[in-house]
Amino acid sequence: MHPTILIVGASSGIGKHTALTFNRNNWKVIACSRNLKALKAMSIKTSQKNPKIEPVKLDITNQIACKKNIDKIINKFGVPDIVLLNAGTNNPNSKNIASYKETKKLFEVNFFGIVHCIELLIPHLEKKRDTQLVIMSSVAGYRGLPYAAAYCSSKAGLISFAEAIYNQCYDKGINVRVICPGFVKTPLTDKNKFKMPMIISSETAGNIIYNKLLNSKSFEIVFPKVFCYFMKILKILPNFLYFKLTSKLLKKL
């Protein structure tokens, strides 16, 4: 019997390469995304020696369909040992100071879609116990960054949400963890029009996530470490210093 991981947002980038890494290491992978075609292509290319990657179409912004499909996943494959909620989007290069339409659209995926998945999955995970519920956030959630108000606030919300539910879930045998990466080369970051410091590949990110989920118990997983620790320093800077730094950054963007 192979251990099982459910990855939401597995068709590209970090999710895809995390799925492939777990598959190479004999995990059964339930790969979910709105892009079923990409999931099927990934599944076909995987080695016949390993458990098959199971592609499942899942749109986390559609509440009714999401509940129906998660119920189907549990009924067909059982309760996974690890759930990785990786789905997310961005509005790169937007120069709007505030846009209700953009922010709402982004939160529907990055925050409310993830929270709905958590609500649906917890009753199943607590029955199995000794499971991991892993939420993909970002170091962008540490502080507000220029031209990224919606993205930063959605990721900050996920970090706070994960912290808030940690103890309640721990009592039910669910280990809540949060991943806060820096820049990773993905189809989303390819749209950025600025130089991204210390960017790493999706393959490297997938390997790090695999090793950290299996070999550490830390609440927060960060990579690349040097860049993430720099962002942690920004997090604790006094506001007047932080705003001086970001005003200089704003002029370069």
Q: Give the active site residues.
A: 137, 151, 155
Residue 180: phi, psi to the nearest 5?
-125, 85
For residue 95, CA distances in Å to 85, 105, 149 come to 28, 16, 10
Helix (H, G, I), strand (E, B), or coil: what is residue 99?
Answer: coil
How far apart are alpha carbons 198 and 191 in whole angstroms? 17
Element holding 103 (H helix, E strand): helix 100-107
- Centre a 10 Å sphere on the Cβ of residue 235 and count the other Cβ atoms it contains: 12
Helix axes 149-170, 100-107, angle to 10 degrees: 30
Contact 12, 19 (CB under 8 A): no
Reading the block at residue 34, the tokens are 């709105």
How far apart are alpha carbons 37 and 40 in whole angstroms? 5
Strands, DSSP E only, in the chain?
A: 4-8, 28-33, 53-57, 82-85, 131-136, 174-181, 184-185, 200-201, 220-223
Closest Cα partner for 22 from 226, 216, 206, 252? 206
